[in-house]
Amino acid sequence: MIWSKIRYPLTEGLRSLIRHPLVTLASMTTITLMLVLMGAFTVFSVNARHIMEKAGQQPPIEITMELGVYPTVLIEVESALKADSNVLDFQRYSPQENFNMFKSSMENEDLFEDFPVENIPYTYSIRLVDPDYGEAFQAQISGIPGVRRVQLELTVMRFLSKAIVWVNYVTLAALLVLGVIAFFIISNMVRVAVFSRAEEINIMKYVGATNLYIRVPYILEGAIVGMLGALAAWLIVGVTYDKIYEILLAGATPDDFLTLVRTDQIKRLVLMINLVLGVGVGAVGSAVSVRRHVKV
């Protein structure tokens, strides 16, 4: 009984695809183009965010402690850093280590042999998960007794966080514009399909077909076109990204600062976005169009 109810919408939805192959091809191509463009934006956006996050995680924050602090103060600071989920990692540098680094950066290290190490403080280098959190972090750590100064590279961090916001805006705008275009194209495809089958639809109405029964094949048709377009676009974006990744990052390691997101991650993400958008736009575009043109 259930099969007899869904057989018609299913078979008609599939049949309709081959009944007007050129219209189907045109719709699918447009969806594919839209989703390739969308995929390109996604790849750009994800990689931009990835690079920005990596850049933001380079230690731009340094905590300088008071001279001669007790170990208990250091423990307190480290507990605060460990408890903060936004702290990606931190590194403590003792006065001796700081002195050695300072010396090695000088041309003539011998000049500093007698320099008293007690005059150099403990320091911490911090990497944050989100560069946006920098100022709040500064305020919080500055309040701990024994902390002399928290230095922030605010200019870089502000630029990074603004850039991420803009990339998000551009991606969203592209998604909306391309989504609307695809929506109208799918609607048009369904309109052509409905008009070409107007006679059959009329007959269906006369023999007692419900709105849902008449509309479902068209919605399925739109969803299938959307899905095929999404898969084609995914293939194009995936293959292209593979090539770009291969060329640009032949000798790089994933921990490098200027690295791209791994191809399998990108492919998974693009596939998911494409399927949701393709099937969604296809089905909704069809539903709206068929709702307008088919009324019992």
| Binding positions for other proteins, 184-203, rule CB under 8 A | 199-200, 202-203
What phi, psi does 69 have (nearest 5°)?
-70, 155
Strand, coil or helix: what is 252?
Answer: coil
Q: Is the separation of the CB atoms in 222 and 194 below 8 Å?
A: no
Given candidates 40, 48, 74, 204, which one binds other proteins under the rule CB under 8 A? 204
3-state SS, residue 246: helix
Q: Count of CB atoms within 10 A of residue 69's CB?
A: 17
User: Cβ distance 162 to 169 under 8 Å?
Assistant: no
CB of 71 or CB of 208, closer to other proteins: 208
Separation CA 28–CA 225 (nearest Å): 6
Nearer to other proteins, 6 or 139 (CB): 6
Among 191, 205, 291, 293, binds other proteins (CB under 8 A): 205
Task: Tell me the closest approach of the beta carbon of residue 242 to other proteins, in angstroms.
Answer: 44
CB of 218 to other proteins, least distance (A): 16
Label residues 163-179 b or e (16+ Cβ within 10 Å = b). Answer: ebeebeeebeebbeebb
Q: Would you count residue 206 as binding other proteins (CB under 8 A)?
A: yes
Q: How far is the CB of 8 from other proteins (least distance, A)?
A: 5
6 vs 173 by CB, closer to other proteins = 6
Report d(CA 182, CA 20) in Å as an integer: 18
In the complex, minimum distance from the CB of residue 210 to other proteins, in angstroms, rounded to a whole number: 5
Site map (CB under 8 A) of other proteins, residues 232-261, x = contact: ------------------------------
292 touches other proteins by CB under 8 A: no
Binding flag, residue 291, other proteins (CB under 8 A): no
The alpha helices in the chain, defined as continuous H runs, are: 2-19, 21-57, 71-83, 95-105, 134-142, 154-196, 198-206, 211-248, 263-293
Residues with Cβ within 8 Å of residue 183, at least 6 apart in sequence:
281, 284, 285, 288
Of 127 and 291, CB closest to other proteins: 291
Closer of 6 and 258 to other proteins (Cβ): 6
Among residues 110 and 199, whose Cβ is nearest to other proteins? 199
Q: Which of 75, 294, 285, 65 is nearest to 188 (CA)?
A: 285
User: C-beta of 16: minimal distance to other proteins in Å?
Assistant: 12
Q: Using the rule CB under 8 A, which residue among 83, 207, 247, 250 binds other proteins?
A: 207
Q: DSSP character for 295? A: -
Footprint of other proteins (CB under 8 A)? 1, 4-5, 7-8, 199-200, 202-211, 213, 296
